[in-house]
Structure 1
C-alpha cells in the first residue's frame, strides 16, 4: 500500500514538474507569471464556453475548438461558468491594450480580457502551456500585455513572389508569436505584384522580368537564368489574405514604393518617368538601386499614383499605407526640365526638397482618405511630412530625429532586424545577402533609445523585422532565414526588458519551440551546439561540454578536422579530449535534428605546445604606428602623433584617385603634395613604414579578366612611382574579397602573376612587397558576403609558398579569429601587422569592426616572440586622434608580461 501511494505521489510530482516547465518556455515571456502546486487535467471533451459576446468571432471560436484540439462544441453564455475552458470578454477590467489574464486552477482554465485581441493572445499562450504529451497543466496565474503597440514583420514579394498559401503560413507565425502587423512589400524595380484594374499593364507588363541574376550581385561576369519570371496577386486574393489576417488579429499594411524603386511600373507606363519621351524600360533583372524613377515634375505622375492608391486603400482597411520613399536617386530629376521647373516654381533648394514635396503631397492625399503614411527614414530628407510615421532602417539616427520632431517611429535597423542577413559561416548554408546577424544580436536589441526624453520615447510605437527577397526565392528559404530569429523578435516587441533572459531563451525556450517546428516538418535554421564556439586554445586537454539546441536532436563530432556525419562520434555527455605534447586536435561538431536538419559546424583547434621551444622572455617592445591618408599628413598631425608616442605611419594615396581610376591632379601637383607630406613626417621624426596600395573590386590585382588586370597593374605601377618619394620600407597589396562563384583558383593564379610582376617594381624603389588579408572565412570575425582567396591557414601557407621567398605576409588582426595561428604558420615571413581600427582599452580587446569575438593577446604576443617579429604595432585607423594607441598597446603588452611572470612562478 505504501509503495502504491509513493508511486502515485511520484507520478504527480513528475506531472507537476513537466507542467511547470511549460510556463518557463512561453514565447514571448509574459509580464507576470505565478505557478503554484496543483494540476488541472485537460481532456478532449473539456467544455469550452465564451462569455460577454453578442456573437463569438469565428477566429476565436475556431482557435479554441480546432487549434487547441478540444472536441466539445463551444457555447456562448451570458455569464461565465467555473468549468472547463472559459473565454471571457469583460469590458470592465483594467488592462493595457491587447492585455489578458489567464488562470489555471481546480475549476478549469479562464482567459479574461477587455478586447478580442487580448483573448486571442491568451489562447496563444494557452496553446504553449498544453503539454505535447499528456494533459496536465500546473495551476498558473498570468497577467500579460505588450511593450509596443506595433509589432511587425515584413515580406518582400517584389523581388520574388510567394504563393497565397505561404502568405497565410507567414501570417500564422506572426499571430502565434503575438506580432500584429504584416508589412507587405508589393512593388519593386523587379516586379509589380498587386492587380490595379485601372492600369492593367502594371501586372501584365510590370509583373514580369525577362530573366534573373544567378548568384551574388556584382559578381563578374554576371550570369542570368534566361527564365521569364513573374506573377501577381489578384484583388480577390488580396481580399482573401487581408480577411485571413484579420481573423488572426493581424493588420496588413501594403507598401507601394515611390518615387524610387519604380522601374517595373515604368516598364508598363514609361510616360510617368522624367523627360519628354522616356523609355522604353524593363523590369530589373538584377538587384540594387536604379536611376529611373517617377517624375516629380509632371502632374500626371501624381494622378497616376493617386489612382493606384485609391484601389489599394479600398483593399486594405489598415489605417496606414507605406509609400516607401527610400533609395531614390536624383540623377534624372537633375536633368529633367519638368522637375527643374517644379523646383523653381516652388522655390525649393534642391532635389532633396523636391522629394520632400513629393512625399508631402502624397501624404496629403492619403490623409484626405482618412489614412496615414509610413515611409522609410529617407523621408526625413528635405523636411518631414506633417503626419508621417518614420520607419528607421539605416540604424537608429533617423528614428531618433523623427521622435525628437514629435513623429511616431517604428524601429527596424538593418544591423539588428534584417532577417535576410546570414546566420551562417560564409561557406556554409545557402546564398544570402551576406552581412552577419546572429540570433543573439537580434535578441539583444532594445528599440527605445535611452538618449530620448520620456516623452520622446513614447513616440517609439514599435519595432519590425524585414525579410528582403533578393536571394530568397522559395518558401522554405524564407522560413530558414526567418526562424528562429522570429522568436527573438517576438520577445523584443512584446516582453518588458526586465523579463528577458538570453540564457533561458537560448537554452530552454528554443529547444522546445524548434522541436515543434522540426516535428511538423517546418524549415528553420538549426543553431550550433549550446556552449560551442569557434576558437583556438593552447592546452593538453579540452572538455567537450555541450547541450543540444533542439529537443531530441543529437550532436556528432570529429577530432581529426573532418566534417562530422552521423557515422562519427555521437555526443552522449561531457568528453575530455586529450592532446599529446607537440600535437594538435581539430574538433568539429554539428547538430542534427530528428528530421535530418543540420547546424553549421563549430571548430575548436586545440594545440599542446608542451616540449615546443618557446621564447622565454617577452619580445622587445614594439614601435607604435597608425595609418593615415596621404592628404592628412601635415606638420600639425605629425607633431601631434609624435607627442603621443607614434613612431611610424602607414599611408595610402586613395585621396588622389577617383572611382573611375583616374588621377584627380596632374603629376606635378601630386609630386608636390607627396613631397610636402614626406617633409612633414621627416621633420617630426616619424618613419613612413609602409604604403597600402589601393584595393577594391575594380582595382584588384586578382581580376580574372586579363585585359582589366593589365589596366589595374598600370595604375599601380604609376602609384608606385609616386611612392618612391616617400621611401617606405613596405608596399602592401590587399587582394579583393569579392570573388565570384567558382573563381577562387583563377583568382589565386592572377594574384600570384601580379605579385611576381609587381615585385620587380617594388624592388626598384628599395621596398619590400607584402601581401595582406588572403585568409578567411574560417577565421573571419565577420563572415559576411566577402569570399577571400583562402579559407584556411593551410591554404594561406600554400599560396605563400607559391610566391617568391622575398614576398612577405601582413597579418591583419582586424578580421580574423585567433590570428596567432596564422602568425605561427607564417613564421618569419610576417613583416607587419594591422591592429583593430579602434581604441582597444582592455586586455580582452573586442574587434570593433563587428563586435564579435575577443583577441587572446597573450597568445598573439607569444606567437610574435616565437617568429622574432620586429615590425611595428600598426593601428589601421580612420580616427584622427591617436592619443590612445600607446596606452592601449601598453595595456595589452603588460598582460603578456604578467603571463610570463606567472609561468616563471
Structure 2
C-alpha cells in the first residue's frame, strides 16, 4: 500500500487507536509532547537510552547532513555533542538516518521513525522528510525534564507527512527592520516547527529594505524615514534622527541559503501598485501625483500609487528581474492590497493612460499591473501570488491568491481554479494581541488568542473536493508597525506559531486543542533552551482585587488566560514556588496586601511571577489599560513617541472615538479626579475611514478635559487643557467634583477639540478624597 494511502487511512482512525499507550513496566506511559502532532503514532515497549556517546549513523551524504543538524539541536538543547559516522560500531545502540526509495506520489516531506530499545531509524525518500523526522526525534529527546546522563526515548513507530504543502509565516521588515541574525533565529524556529515558507515583506510606504543594484537610491532614500514626534528628534541637538535599514544582496543570498538548508523557501514581496510611498519618495516620477513626498512615518492605509507609465513599468521590471535572480523559489509576491484608487481617479495623466490601454476603470488598471508583472515573471520561471484584492479583475490562470480579508477571497479564487494560501486577518494576524492583559505590548487589541489561532480550518466547507485541492495551505502574518524590537516580534509569533504549525501539518482528525495544551509546556522549555522570548501573557497569572463590604478586607481572584497548570501564590512578599499554597478559590485578605503568583506544570513556572500590592490608595486608581473604551471604532494599544531609545509609555486608545470609561467608579466621598495624560502624534493614514474620527467641540483655545457620567451622559467636571504637556511629556489635571455626587458612576474621560497632528491620551486616573 502506498505511503499516502496508509497515512490517509490512519488519519481517519479514532485518535485512541492511533495513539494507543499500553502500560509498560513503569506504569502508564507519559504523553509525548510532539508539536505538530504526527499523522500516525503507535507506542511500543521499552525505551532507547540516548547517551553522549551514542553514535549517529548516516551512509548517504544527504543523511549525514541531517544527522549533523540533529546533533546541533541536541547540543543546543541538551548540551551533548553527538558524533556522526557512516557505520555503527558492533552491536552498540545507535541512531541511523537513512535515505530510502519513495513512491511517485509520496510527499517529499514524509518520513518514518522507528524507535526500539536497541536502535533508532529515521527514514525518508527526500532530505526534507528526513529533516522533519530528525526534528520529531529531537522533540522526543526533549519532552521530559532530564538532568541525568541518559535521555530515554520511548519505543514507537511514527509514519508522518504534512497535510498542506504551504506552511508559512510572513514577517514585515518594512515598518521595522530586523537584523540578519534575527531573521536567522526566526528561520531556525520555523524549521523546528516544520514550517516551510518564509514570506518576506520588503517594501512599503514606510521603507524600502531590499538593495536593487540598478537603483541604489531606493535604499539610500527610500530605506530611511524620520519617525513621528519625539522619536525622530535627537534630544541633545534637536536635529532629525532618521530610522534606516536595508538588506544587501549578499545578505539576502545568505538568508536564502540559510533558509534552504532548513528546507524553507523564501517568498519576497514587492508591493504593487499600492504601499508605494517609499519608492515614490525616492523617484517622484513613479507616482500618480505631482511633487515629492517623504517616506512615510505614519501607519495605516496610504494613498500613494505607482502610475501606469511605460517608464514605471520599466522600473518595476528592472526591480523584479533582480528579485527573480536573488530568490530561487517559485513564487514572487506582488502585494496588490489596499490600493486606494483616489490618486488614479484624480490624475488626468493616469486617466489618459487608462484610455490608451483600453481599460474601463481603476480596478481593471490594477488587473493590468498584475497581468503584466505575471507575464514578466513567468518568463523568468516565477509564479505570481498576491493578496485577495487582485481578484477584483480577471487574473492570469497561473496566479495564486493569498486570502487575508477572510476566507471569502480564497473561496472565490479556488472556485475559479486559482491556488490559494489562507491567511485571514480574523485568525492568523499575529500582530493582534493574544490576551487582554495590561502587560501586552503595543499592537492591535483585537484578540487572537491561542485557541482561535488553533481552531482555524484552512479548507472552506463550501468547496467541492476538486476545488479544495487548490488550497495550498495557510500562513500567519506579523505586521511590525508597533514592534520596535525583535523581542516584540517573538512575543507575537510564540507560542501561537505552534498552533499554526499543527494546523498546517497534522491531519484534521488528529487536532485536539486540550491535547495540544497538554503538549505545550514541553515546547516552552524548548523555546527557553534556544533563548526565544515567547509571550508570557498567556501563561502569567492575572491578580484582581476588589474591596469587600467590610472595606477592611480585599477579595483577590486569580486566573490565567489558558487555564494551564496549577496557580501557586504567596502573600509575604516572597516568590512563589511549587511548595507555595495552591490557589483554588478567591482569597479574603486584610488591607494592605501583597500577592505574588505563578502557574506551574511539572515543577516549572510557565511564566515569570506576577506581583501586585493593594492598599486603600491603589483601589482608587486605574491605569489606562484597566479602563474600557466607550466604543470600539478603531482600538489600538499605542506606544509613546519618546524617548528615542528605551522603554516608553503605552496607551490604550480608540482613535476613532478617544474616550476612556471607568465603570462603576466609587465616587462616594471623592472630591476630585486627577487625570495624568500624555500627548502622542496622530500618525495614522485612514484613507476613506478618516471622516469616522469623532472630535468633540472645544470651548477654549486648546480644548478641555471633560468628565461625564457615561460616554454621552451628564457633565460632571470640565478643566481647560494646556497648549502642550510638561517637559516629561505628561500633564496631571485635577478636576474638582461638586458636593453630593452619587456613590458610583460610569466615569467617562474625554478630551475636546481637534489637536492633530497630535492627540491626548489617558495614562492614569486617580480618585482623591478630601477637599477639592
TM-score by length of 1: 0.62
For the pair 1:246 / 2:246, whether they are aligned, the reply is: no
1:412 equivalent in structure 2: 423
Whole-Å Cα distance in 2 between the matches of residues 361 and 548 of structure 1? 49
RMSD: 4.8
2:327 equivalent in structure 1: 316
Judged with a 3 Å threshold, the aligned counterparts in structure 2 of structure 1 residues 515 and 547 are, in CA distance, closer, same or farther, namely farther
Judged with a 3 Å threshold, the aligned counterparts in structure 2 of structure 1 residues 101 and 110 are, in CA distance, closer, same or farther, namely same
Moved more, 394-403 or 590-599: 590-599
Whether the 8 Å CA contact 1:529–1:546 is kept in 2: the answer is no
Superimposed CA distance per residue, residues 803-841 of structure 1 (whole angstroms, 9 cap, x where no aligned partner): 9xxxxxxxxxxxxxxxxxxxxxxxxxxxxxxxxxxxxxx
Whether the 8 Å CA contact 2:102–2:125 is kept in 1: the answer is yes
For the pair 1:774 / 2:770, whether they are aligned, the reply is: no
Q: Give 1:34 shift.
A: 1.3
Superimposed CA distance per residue, residues 90-127 of structure 1 (whole angstroms, 9 cap, x where no aligned partner): 12457444111101013310111122111000000000
User: Which runs of structure 2 are paired with 1:382-393 in the superposition (5 Å)?
Assistant: 382-393=393-404
Whether the 8 Å CA contact 2:70–2:135 is kept in 1: the answer is no
1:522 equivalent in structure 2: 532
1:255 equivalent in structure 2: 269
User: Which runs of structure 2 are paired with 1:23-172 in the superposition (5 Å)?
Assistant: 24-51=32-59, 53=60, 55-56=61-62, 59-69=65-75, 71=81, 73-76=83-86, 84-92=94-102, 95-131=106-142, 132-133=146-147, 134-172=150-188
User: Which runs of structure 2 are paired with 1:649-728 in the superposition (5 Å)?
Assistant: 697-700=693-696, 706-707=700-701, 709=703
Q: Give 1:699 shift.
A: 2.1
More helix by share: 1
Whole-Å Cα distance in 1 between the matches of residues 153 and 705 of structure 2? 73
For the pair 1:281 / 2:293, whether they are aligned, the reply is: yes
Whole-Å Cα distance in 2 between the matches of residues 601 and 418 of structure 1? 30
Whole-Å Cα distance in 2 between the matches of residues 442 and 498 of structure 1? 17
User: Which runs of structure 2 are paired with 1:534-613 in the superposition (5 Å)?
Assistant: 555-556=568-569, 566=575, 571-575=580-584, 577=586, 589-591=597-599, 598=608
1:727 equivalent in structure 2: none
Whole-Å Cα distance in 2 between the matches of residues 101 and 542 of structure 1? 54
Whole-Å Cα distance in 1 between the matches of residues 179 and 229 of structure 2? 21
Judged with a 3 Å threshold, the aligned counterparts in structure 2 of structure 1 residues 732 and 549 are, in CA distance, closer, same or farther, namely closer
Judged with a 3 Å threshold, the aligned counterparts in structure 2 of structure 1 residues 553 and 348 are, in CA distance, closer, same or farther, namely same
Judged with a 3 Å threshold, the aligned counterparts in structure 2 of structure 1 residues 233 and 543 are, in CA distance, closer, same or farther, namely closer
Q: Give 1:495 shift.
A: 1.4
Whether the 8 Å CA contact 2:521–2:606 is kept in 1: the answer is no
Q: Give 1:426 shift.
A: 5.8
Whole-Å Cα distance in 1 between the matches of residues 456 and 546 of structure 2? 29
Whether the 8 Å CA contact 2:570–2:581 is kept in 1: the answer is no
Superimposed CA distance per residue, residues 675-728 of structure 1 (whole angstroms, 9 cap, x where no aligned partner): xxxxxxxxxxxxxxxxxxxx9743236x7x944748999xxxxxxxxxxxxxxx
Superimposed CA distance per residue, residues 5-56 of structure 1 (whole angstroms, 9 cap, x where no aligned partner): xxxxxxxx999679x53x52101011111112212112222222224x4x32
Query: Alignment partner of 1:352: what SS?
Result: helix
More strand by share: 2
Whole-Å Cα distance in 2 between the matches of residues 546 and 27 of structure 1? 26
Which has more radius of gyration?
1
For the pair 1:208 / 2:224, whether they are aligned, the reply is: yes
User: Which runs of structure 2 are paired with 1:429-448 in the superposition (5 Å)?
Assistant: 429-448=440-459
Judged with a 3 Å threshold, the aligned counterparts in structure 2 of structure 1 residues 201 and 114 are, in CA distance, closer, same or farther, namely same
Judged with a 3 Å threshold, the aligned counterparts in structure 2 of structure 1 residues 225 and 90 are, in CA distance, closer, same or farther, namely farther
Judged with a 3 Å threshold, the aligned counterparts in structure 2 of structure 1 residues 274 and 787 are, in CA distance, closer, same or farther, namely closer
Whether the 8 Å CA contact 2:576–2:609 is kept in 1: the answer is no
Whole-Å Cα distance in 1 between the matches of residues 84 and 279 of structure 2? 49
Query: Alignment partner of 2:58: what SS?
Result: strand
1:511 equivalent in structure 2: 521
Q: Give 1:454 shift.
A: 1.8
1:903 equivalent in structure 2: none
Whether the 8 Å CA contact 1:101–1:112 is kept in 2: the answer is yes
Superimposed CA distance per residue, residues 127-153 of structure 1 (whole angstroms, 9 cap, x where no aligned partner): 011144432111111111111100001
User: Which runs of structure 2 are paired with 1:449-528 in the superposition (5 Å)?
Assistant: 449-506=460-517, 508-528=518-538
Superimposed CA distance per residue, residues 34-90 of structure 1 (whole angstroms, 9 cap, x where no aligned partner): 112212112222222224x4x326741421333234756434479x99951111111
Query: Alignment partner of 2:44: what SS?
Result: strand
Whole-Å Cα distance in 2 between the matches of residues 388 and 802 of structure 1? 71
Aligned residue pairs total: 637
Judged with a 3 Å threshold, the aligned counterparts in structure 2 of structure 1 residues 17 and 68 are, in CA distance, closer, same or farther, namely farther
Whole-Å Cα distance in 1 between the matches of residues 520 and 422 of structure 2? 25
Judged with a 3 Å threshold, the aligned counterparts in structure 2 of structure 1 residues 595 and 501 are, in CA distance, closer, same or farther, namely closer
Whole-Å Cα distance in 2 between the matches of residues 733 and 59 of structure 1? 73
1:634 equivalent in structure 2: none
Query: Alignment partner of 2:454: what SS?
Result: helix
Superimposed CA distance per residue, residues 289-312 of structure 1 (whole angstroms, 9 cap, x where no aligned partner): 22222102x111111000001011
1:876 equivalent in structure 2: none
For the pair 1:268 / 2:277, whether they are aligned, the reply is: no
TM-score by length of 2: 0.71
1:294 equivalent in structure 2: 306
Q: Give 1:279 shift.
A: 2.8
1:227 equivalent in structure 2: 241
Judged with a 3 Å threshold, the aligned counterparts in structure 2 of structure 1 residues 402 and 596 are, in CA distance, closer, same or farther, namely closer
Structure 2 residues not aligned, in runs of 5+: 1-22, 233-237, 615-655, 658-690, 739-743, 751-758
